[in-house]
């Protein structure tokens, strides 16, 4: 028995019954392990759900990092590639995600912590992208604001996720288009743009006097 | 080339693009007349040039079917001032490509493998745009390949695109909306076919095999196992696009050879296969110095119904005009005139079409035809110009011409204009099967 098996069994149970097991006790019976063995892997049923999101994220990242092309991508392209692979992985679990879709709305996420582990890992990942972006001048460092970029990207990831959940187009083509647009917009916002020149100009006028 | 990161897919967004082109065009008029105040020598041509540029920029941002319509418009030289034509012709060669990760994603989604796994080498930068897709160069087993990839969401936006393009096209071509309806239906069905790359591969293989006996034609080999509904892999063809080729000053002999090959290619398809490569825009042909021409892109194939074929090609026989009931029957069958037309309308339009048919079928009636003869084409342009400016034509509420004639006319017009640019002298005489 390992974590993966428990996660799989949990998903299958949920997909077939439409609801979560009544207790850890009843779930352990299904797994044929003792409750105390179970706690060696997860400390609650909810922890399994948290792990699902983290695992999808991590397996996407592992797949990307094995790809030599990915290594040469710019920060913007890396994020694009990530979303594409992430959605691709999610496809294998679409039924499960759809069952849980009410949990994925923005106002729900604030209340539960199902996505927390995934979120923390995502923050770490996006931080490396932002650093790379700053070096390659794709991203502009701005006082006080730069630290918040990652929160923006998190919202973007949730947008992509929710868009895909609602997507009815063939092969989820519209999600592909949505990803391209969303990423393009975000990198335009955090790149050097008119606003910076405007602020710079304003500062210049003020200090000149 | 600057990579384009997004295609506007929402209807609203696409519509906004057109609006912004409209504003720019309006601005160009203002600019034009202010400039003219300062510099009276300025001509309308400059204004057209400005407008065409803005419209082209808008269309190339829209990609997909809008770009396709631009390509179609660009071929009706008679209908548009030359500056529009020059700009629109650009759309036949290049539009900004999509991002690398999306290309990889399309491969993973439809073929289950990344381009790096499928080919020995795959160039991530697109080398060409193909209106609803882009072309990448790849190498496998020492062979150079051309890989065409379709933009996501094109098929789902075809219909909404056409609705947006419609009023725009009507203004540009100066046609009535009712007249356009049946044609737009035809265009829509053809465009939807073109988004089906699987169909394109099977048609390409079929048509290139049945035309392989024609001299001086080169067809790429297609690889169905490396193709999907969004991807087509074929041999990479060497050669030059029309304009580049003509600029390299090929000898008259080479021009004639290529011209003849193209003429024979279309002749064989229309009269023997009754299915024709209906997209003869210069981007689909690669010409080489040895007088051979590479042909690809069978996305747009028009099947010619027997009834239409018989009537259409009877027009190439001048004898029909000796018998009034005969030509009137043919005109009616081709929906050029209608039984419920008034006497004057019948008379008026028959005269117009008679002259038009005489002009356009001229090459068919001669043994040999010199497409380098500029006076011939000037006469055609002048006449279409004259016709489209006639009050009776502009006010006509009736659609004249069968929907099938749209792509067939376009095919011949495209062929004529390529042959004219080539200044090729071609053996053209033929007797249609139906007349024998």
What is the tens place of the pLDDT at every residue in A30-67? 889 999 999 999 999 989 999 999 999 999 999 999 98
Residues of chain B contacting residue A129, judged by C-beta atoms under 8 Å apart: none
Residues of chain A contacting residue B61, judged by C-beta atoms under 8 Å apart: none
- The nearest CA of chain A is from the CA of B158 a distance in Å of 14
Tell me the C-alpha to C-alpha distance, in Å, between residue A42 and each of A4, A38, A46: 11, 6, 9
**Binning pLDDT at 50, 70 and 90, where does residue A3 land?**
confident
For residue A96, pLDDT over 80 is answered with yes
Please give the Cα distance from B94 to B169 (Å, whole number): 21
- pLDDT tens, residue by residue, B400-429: 777 787 778 778 877 888 888 889 999 887
B70: tokens are 């631009």
3-state secondary structure of B107: helix
Please give the Cα distance from B203 to B198 (Å, whole number): 9
Query: What pLDDT was estimated at residue B22?
Result: 45
For residue A103, pLDDT over 70 is answered with yes
Beta-sheet strands, E only, within B214-265: 217-218, 231-235
In chain B, the residue whose alpha carbon lies closest to the alpha carbon of A78 is B101
For residue A145, pLDDT over 70 is answered with yes
Query: What pLDDT was estimated at residue A171?
Result: 84
- How big, in percent rounded to 5, are the helix, strand and coil portions of chain B? 60, 10, 30
CB contact under 8 A, B108 and A88: yes
CB contact under 8 A, A84 and B105: yes
Which of A80, A169, A181 lies nearest to residue B101, judging by beta carbons? Answer: A80
| Interface residues of chain A, partner chain B, Cβ below 8 Å | 67-69, 73, 76-77, 80-81, 84-85, 88, 169-171, 173-174, 176-177, 180-181, 183-184
- The nearest CA of chain A is from the CA of B105 a distance in Å of 6
For residue A16, pLDDT over 50 is answered with yes
For residue B37, pLDDT over 60 is answered with no
CB contact under 8 A, B5 and A183: yes
Residues of chain A contacting residue B108, judged by C-beta atoms under 8 Å apart: 84-85, 88
**Binning pLDDT at 50, 70 and 90, where does residue A18 land?**
confident
B119: tokens are 């080919």
Residue bearing tokens 């044609």: B183
Which of A124-138, B60-74, B224-238, B403-417 is predicted with the least confidence, judged by mean pLDDT? Answer: B60-74
Which of A179-193, B81-95, B213-227, B233-247 is predicted with the least confidence, judged by mean pLDDT? Answer: B81-95
Mean pLDDT, all residues of chain B: 75
Please give the Cα distance from A162 to A176 (Å, whole number): 13
Do residues B414 and B75 make contact, with C-beta atoms less than 8 angstroms apart? yes
Query: What pLDDT was estimated at residue B84?
Result: 42
Do residues A70 and B115 make contact, with C-beta atoms less than 8 angstroms apart? no
Please give the Cα distance from A174 to B337 (Å, whole number): 45
Q: Give mean pLDDT, residues B49-65.
A: 50
Q: Which of B267, B249, B260 is nearest to B292 (CA)?
A: B260
Q: Give mean pLDDT, residues B30-46.
A: 53
Query: What pLDDT was estimated at residue B139?
Result: 95
**Binning pLDDT at 50, 70 and 90, where does residue A208 land?**
low
- For chain A, the straight-line distance linking the first and the last C-alpha, in angstroms and rounded, comes to 73
Q: Give mean pLDDT, residues B195-221.
A: 92
């Amino acid at each position: 028995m390992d974590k993966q098996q428990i996660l799989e069994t949990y998903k299958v149970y949920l997909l077939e019954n439409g609801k979560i097991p009544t207790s850890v006790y009843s779930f352990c019976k299904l797994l044929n392990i003792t409750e105390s063995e179970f706690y060696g892997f997860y400390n609650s049923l909810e922890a399994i759900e948290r792990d699902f999101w983290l695992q999808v994220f991590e397996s996407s990242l592992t797949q990307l990092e094995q790809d030599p092309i990915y290594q040469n991508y710019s920060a913007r392209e890396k994020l694009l590639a990530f979303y594409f692979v992430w959605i691709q992985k999610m496809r294998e679990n679409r039924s499960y995600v759809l069952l849980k879709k009410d949990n994925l709305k923005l106002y729900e996420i604030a209340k539960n912590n199902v996505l927390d582990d995934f979120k923390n890992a995502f923050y770490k990942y996006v931080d490396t992208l932002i650093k790379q972006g700053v070096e390659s001048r794709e991203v502009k460092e701005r006082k006080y604001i730069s630290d918040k970029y990652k929160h923006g990207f998190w919202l973007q990831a949730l947008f992509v996720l929710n868009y895909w959940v609602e997507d009815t187009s063939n092969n989820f083509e519209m999600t592909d288009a949505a990803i391209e647009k969303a990423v393009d917009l975000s990198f335009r916002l955090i790149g050097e743009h008119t606003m910076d020149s405007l602020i710079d100009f304003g500062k210049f006028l003020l200090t000149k006097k | 080339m600057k990579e384009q990161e997004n295609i506007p897919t929402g209807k609203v967004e696409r519509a906004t693009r057109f609006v912004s082109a409209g504003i720019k065009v309006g601005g160009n008029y203002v600019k034009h007349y202010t400039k003219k105040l300062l510099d009276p020598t300025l001509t309308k041509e400059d204004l057209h040039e400005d407008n065409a540029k803005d419209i082209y920029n808008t269309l190339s941002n829209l990609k997909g079917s809008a770009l396709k319509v631009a390509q179609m418009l660009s071929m009706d030289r008679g209908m548009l001032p030359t500056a529009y034509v020059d700009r629109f012709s650009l759309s036949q060669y290049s539009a900004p490509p999509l991002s690398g990760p999306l290309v990889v994603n399309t491969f993973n989604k439809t073929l289950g493998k990344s381009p790096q796994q499928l080919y020995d080498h795959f160039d991530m930068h697109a080398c060409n745009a193909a209106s609803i897709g882009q072309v990448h160069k790849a190498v496998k087993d020492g062979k150079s390949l051309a890989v065409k990839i379709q933009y996501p969401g094109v098929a789902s936006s075809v219909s909404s695109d056409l609705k947006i393009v419609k009023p725009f096209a009507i203004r540009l071509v100066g046609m009535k909306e009712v007249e356009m309806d049946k044609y737009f239906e035809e265009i829509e069905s053809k465009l939807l076919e073109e988004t089906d790359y699987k169909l394109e591969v099977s048609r390409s293989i079929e048509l290139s095999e049945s035309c392989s006996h024609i001299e001086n034609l080169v067809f790429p080999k297609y690889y169905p196992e490396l193709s999907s509904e969004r991807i087509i892999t074929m041999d990479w063809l060497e050669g030059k696009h029309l304009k580049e080729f003509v600029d390299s000053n090929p000898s008259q002999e080479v021009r004639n050879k290529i011209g003849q090959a193209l003429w024979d290619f279309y002749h064989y398809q229309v009269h023997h296969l009754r299915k024709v490569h209906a997209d003869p825009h210069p981007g689909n042909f690669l010409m080489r110095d040895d007088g051979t021409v590479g042909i690809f892109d069978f996305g747009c194939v028009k099947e010619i119904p027997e009834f239409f074929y018989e009537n259409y090609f009877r027009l190439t026989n001048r004898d029909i005009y000796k018998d009034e009931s005969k030509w009137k029957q043919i005109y009616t069958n081709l929906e050029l005139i209608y039984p419920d037309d008034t006497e004057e309308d019948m008379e008026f339009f028959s005269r117009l079409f008679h002259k038009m048919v005489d002009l356009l079928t001229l090459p068919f009636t001669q043994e040999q035809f010199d497409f380098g003869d500029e006076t011939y084409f000037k006469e055609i342009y002048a006449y279409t110009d004259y016709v489209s400016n006639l009050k009776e034509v502009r006010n006509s509420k009736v659609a004249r011409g069968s929907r099938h004639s749209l792509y067939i006319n376009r095919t011949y017009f495209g062929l004529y204009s390529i042959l004219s640019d080539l200044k090729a002298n071609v053996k053209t005489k033929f007797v249609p099967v139906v007349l024998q």
